[in-house]
Amino acid sequence: MARKERYLVGLDVGTSKITAIVGEAGDEGTLDIIGIGMADSKGIRRGVVVNLEAAVESIKKAIDEAELTAGVEIDTVHLALSGAHVKAFNSRGVVAVAGKTREITREDVRRALEAAKAVALPSGREILHVLPQDFVVDEQDGIGAPLGMTGSRLEVNVHVVTGSASSTQNVVACVNRAGIAVAETVLEQLAASESVLTQDEKELGVALVDIGGGTTDFAIFERGSLWHTGVVAVGGDHFTNDIAVGLRTPIPDAEKIKRRCGCALSSMVDEDETMEVASVGGRKPRVMARRILSEILQPRAEEIFHLLWDEIRRAGFEKSLNSGIVLTGGGAMLEGVAEIAEQIFDLPIRRGAPSGIGGLSDHVASPAFATAVGVVMYAHRNQAGELPRPVGAGAFGRVAGRLRGLFKEFL
Ligand SMILES: Nc1ncnc2c1ncn2[C@@H]1O[C@H](COP(=O)(O)OP(=O)(O)OP(=O)(O)O)[C@@H](O)[C@H]1O
Ligand SMILES: [Mg+2]
């Protein structure tokens, strides 16, 4: 296993902003946030590098700021990978238990996982994660920890996450050009789930929905495991564009108005509330009803959530979301998004911000930091020898701890 690092750095290269978070691992297994660096994202769109030089500069800026606030030098980061080019699917590995006594050993589990990984991938794609969901021993399913059990046939169900090899390499190359090594890459939904979801939510069934700048990424957890990941090609920036067009105001002003006065559910806005809107071409600012703004935003919010609902239904998980939906990402900060989502899904909805950390936790307690903080938490758990996903937690809680260590060796 890798040497334990005292300082763990998470880097989230988003479409809107680049965030570097420095965490300090304490001796008692604690994690404190000690540094935060942020820069506007230039040259990267939906996880794909479109301008290398600009991207490198933005990354450098975020890293420099994080170094300054933390007072430590950063040479390695754990990198969140955008969900936009990610395709994930469920797979299964089956092996015969090898030993004479038919007792399942680590080697059997390793072979089952290898078998589950052995799928033909389209060219240009690579495996990012192989996440075990549960095991089947002979006919008995839903087993979290099969080690030491007796049987003749061992099956493992896994979620295989794949990404575009070149997109990943290009982002890693930008980080390297900024003088920083990448220790590992983590799917952004998986990272965000570390910082904003509770164990109970993951057990009972929940959808994590990250409304970013360019896209809305989601992941569905049930029985402690990741079952489905997907992307809806509409994000927070679409709201801004709608405002710019609808109110005829420049994009930067539209962004400001959205953050200051925006509301995604028009019935929440009083009819006589007003706001000031900058005009294009040097004309004087105008005063307008705030209701008009929310009438521009509401259809976009409805579009995102209807598309999301279609995706969830198509994947067959509409009955699995017993803990409802957790909204995160910068777009989740828009007033009224949780309320409109509640109307559309008829499920419990909450906003998710990072929790369970110390240090500068107040400064990162915003949905916009879910991914960057999540990467640090993921790396911290990984370093503690735990695979950052519970193997059938709850019923299998105690054995799971041992098993997580085991998976860490394999994957
Ligand atoms: N207070 C706010 N109110 C409304 N929207 C906001 C607020 N703060 C940020 N946003 C929006 O959130 C979006 C950016 O979210 P986030 O920072 O999570 O994106 P990102 O991670 O850079 O992008 P992506 O994940 O799509 O690559 C932008 O569209 C921004 O306008
Ligand atoms: Mg993001």
Report the C-alpha gap between 276 and 80 in whole angstroms.
38
Mutate to test the pocket of ligand 1, among 15, 18, 171, 217 (most ligand atoms within 8 A of CB): 15
Residues 14 and 24 sit within 8 Å (Cβ to Cβ): no
Report the C-alpha gap between 263 and 265 in whole angstroms.
6
CA dist 44 to 231, 243, 326, 380, Å?
17, 23, 26, 27
**Is 90 exceeded by the pLDDT of residue 367?**
yes
Mean predicted confidence (pLDDT) in 311-319: 95
Mean predicted confidence (pLDDT) in 103-127: 93
pLDDT at 388: 38
pLDDT at 86: 87
Pocket lining: 336 vs ligand 1, CB cutoff 6 Å:
no
State the distance from the centre of ligand 2 to the C-alpha of 232, rounded, in angstroms: 13
Reduce the DSSP state of residue 172 to 3 states and report it.
Answer: helix
First to last CA, the chain: 12
pLDDT at 406: 43
CATH of 87-164, one of 3.40.50.360, 3.40.50.10860, 3.30.1490.110, 1.10.3720.10: 3.30.1490.110
Lowest mean pLDDT among 4-8, 16-20, 73-77, 330-334: 4-8
Distance of CA 363 to the CA centre of its chain: 19
**Is 90 exceeded by the pLDDT of residue 105?**
yes
- Closest ligand to the CA of 241: 1
Mean predicted confidence (pLDDT) in 118-144: 91
Pocket lining: 368 vs ligand 1, CB cutoff 6 Å:
yes
**Is 90 exceeded by the pLDDT of residue 196?**
yes
pLDDT at 390: 33
Ligand 1 atom closest to Cα of residue 255: 31
Cite the DSSP H helix spans in 247-355: 251-261, 290-314, 337-345
State the distance from the centre of ligand 2 to the C-alpha of 384, rounded, in angstroms: 26
HSE (side-chain half, CA atoms, 13 Å) at 323: 22
Lowest mean pLDDT among 246-260, 335-349, 353-367, 379-393: 379-393
State the distance from the centre of ligand 1 to the C-alpha of 211, rounded, in angstroms: 7
Residue 386: which pLDDT band, with cuts at 50, 70 and 90? low
State the distance from the centre of ligand 2 to the C-alpha of 237, rounded, in angstroms: 12
pLDDT at 389: 39
**Is 90 exceeded by the pLDDT of residue 363?**
yes
The structure tokens listed for 283 are 């004309």
Pocket lining: 229 vs ligand 1, CB cutoff 6 Å:
no
What is the Cα Rg of the chain in Å? 22
**Domains of the chain: which residue ranges?**
87-164
- Mean pLDDT, the chain, rounded, equals 90
Pocket lining: 110 vs ligand 1, CB cutoff 6 Å:
no
State the distance from the centre of ligand 1 to the C-alpha of 163, rounded, in angstroms: 23
Pocket lining: 14 vs ligand 1, CB cutoff 6 Å:
yes
Residue nearest to ligand 1 atom 8, measured at CA: 330
Mean predicted confidence (pLDDT) in 83-111: 91
Residue 84: which pLDDT band, with cuts at 50, 70 and 90? confident
Mean predicted confidence (pLDDT) in 193-202: 96
Mean predicted confidence (pLDDT) in 169-184: 96
Mean predicted confidence (pLDDT) in 105-109: 93
pLDDT at 279: 84
Residues 88 and 159 sit within 8 Å (Cβ to Cβ): yes
Residues 20 and 74 sit within 8 Å (Cβ to Cβ): yes
∠ CA 337-343-348, nearest 5°, is 80
**Is 50 exceeded by the pLDDT of residue 283?**
yes
pLDDT at 85: 85
State the distance from the centre of ligand 2 to the C-alpha of 193, rounded, in angstroms: 12
Pocket lining: 328 vs ligand 1, CB cutoff 6 Å:
no
Give the closest residue to 156 by CA, choosing from 354, 391, 344, 370.
Answer: 391
Element (H, E) at 15: none
Pocket lining: 58 vs ligand 1, CB cutoff 6 Å:
no
Pocket lining: 162 vs ligand 1, CB cutoff 6 Å:
no
Pocket lining: 214 vs ligand 1, CB cutoff 6 Å:
yes
Residue 40 neighbours by CB distance under 10 Å:
10
**Is 50 exceeded by the pLDDT of residue 168?**
yes
pLDDT at 46: 82
Ligand 1 atom closest to Cα of residue 45: 27
Residue in the structure block whose two tokens are 């006919």: 139
Pocket lining: 255 vs ligand 1, CB cutoff 6 Å:
yes
The structure tokens listed for 344 are 């559309």
Residue 306 neighbours by CB distance under 10 Å:
12
Residues 221 and 206 sit within 8 Å (Cβ to Cβ): yes
Distance of CA 116 to the CA centre of its chain: 24
HSE (side-chain half, CA atoms, 13 Å) at 57: 8
Element (H, E) at 118: none
